[in-house]
Structure 1
Amino acid sequence: MKEELSKSKNVVSELQSKLADTEKSLKETKDSYVKDVEELKKKEADLASMETRLIDVTARLKEMEKKKSDEILDSFVEGFERAALQAKFIAPGVDFSELDPGKIVRDGKMVEDDDVAEDEAENI
């Protein structure tokens, strides 16, 4: 009986030791999980911030592209007006009222620039 009691005490002692190790491991796992959850929340907040910044940058880029397009158009119109004024200066008696920045000369006629682009696209 004493032997059995001694064996039982040894088994209980081993089991208690294993239980303590398991509890320690479980606590470490839980602590790691809590830390991972906190890091994930931080990364989610960072991602949301980056998404907001990306939207802002995209909006600014579109605005800059529109401004660039407007500046190019303004520059074209200004150049056309300068050329028309120079032509009127060189030939003051000539009627330049038919000048149109949206037209080109094709086959001896003034035609819309868009029509020419469409005709060329059909010929391709």
Structure 2
Amino acid sequence: MLLKPKRGSGEQTCRKKRVPSMKRRRAEAGGSGKERVIDLTSNRCCGKEVSLGEVKLITEKQRKLHGYAGEEDLTSVWSEHFPISVVAEEHFQSKTDLDLIDSVDSVTRAQFMQVYATQLLCIGRYEELKATEEAEQKKEESLSMQKSLELERKLKGKLQKLDKEKTELEARVVELCVQKKEAETSKENHGYAMLEIGFERARKQAEYFHPDLKFDNLDPIKVVHNGTLIDDDEVDLEGGDDHNPEDDAAQS
């Protein structure tokens, strides 16, 4: 048993430093009516600052749960006419439980309620923070999903644009190939036309120098091969040349 020292005995009285309660801090911080921050940095339990807006938000969310639902549903435990004491009397006041509770003193019962309430507070805060973290995580996942969909949409648009450009380039290549083929055919036809013009000039000159000879059998697309006048395609198929054997005899 501790004995309090008498006043005036010269001994110093050991007094425990009291930490202002959160309620008092809230009243002091919000005395001006403006939203302020409750300084709990000196409190050994919290050790941080709490915004009054955060406290107000919690109370606003809890307002419905801490009130009554009215008279519409009398079976609701939030009904103002719900017989809480009757239910407690009939279902939660068994003799065994009452004997157990009565076997301990009032201080122990008070301590039990404090411990139980503190544990519930701990669990409640844990669930609150966990739910907040999960909500933030879902929000981040949703934003990430939106960014992924947006990126996918942009990439799809670029791919469609590249496919269109590829189709246009392929069509251009086909067009150029056709133009090349036409140019080659035109060149070949131009060569034949020049050959025919030159051949006609040579024939007219030969008629001029030898008017008594007939040159009607001359053909610009025929060649002399092995003493025979044949088409140049036949010479290519036989693999021979288009010279006159008499020319070889004259050269030898």
2:146 aligned residue: 27
2:184 match: 65
Aligned-partner residue type, residue 190 of structure 2: E
TM-score of the superposed pair, with normalisation by structure 1: 0.80
Offset of 1:75 from its aligned partner? 0.7
CA-to-partner distance for each residue in 1:11-49, whole Å, 9 max, x for gaps? 222212211221111111011111112222222332333
What is the aligned residue count?
121
Identity of aligned residues (%): 24
Provide structure 2 residue ranges, at least 5 long, that are not aligned to the other structure.
1-119, 241-252
When the two chains are superposed, the root-mean-square deviation of aligned CA atoms in Å is 2.1
Query: 1:47-98: CA deviations, max 9, x gaps?
Result: 3333333333333222222221211110111111111112222222222223
Structure 1: tracts of 5 or more residues without a match: none
Change (3 A) 1:70 1:28: same
Per the TM alignment, residue 2 of structure 1 is displaced from its structure 2 partner at its CA by 1.3
Structure number with greater CO (CA < 8 Å, separation at least 6) is 1
Write 1 or 2 for the structure with the bigger share of helix: 1
Distance in 2 (CA, whole Å) between partners of 1:53 and 1:112 is: 39
Question: Residue in 2 aligned with 1:14?
Answer: 133
Q: Distance in 1 between matches of 2:145 and 2:178?
A: 49
Higher Cα Rg, which structure: 2
Q: Which moved more, 1:44-53 or 1:76-85?
A: 44-53
Q: Which residue of 2 aligns with 1:104?
A: 223
Structure 2 length-normalised TM? 0.43
Extract structure 1 runs of 4+ deviating beyond 4 A.
Answer: none
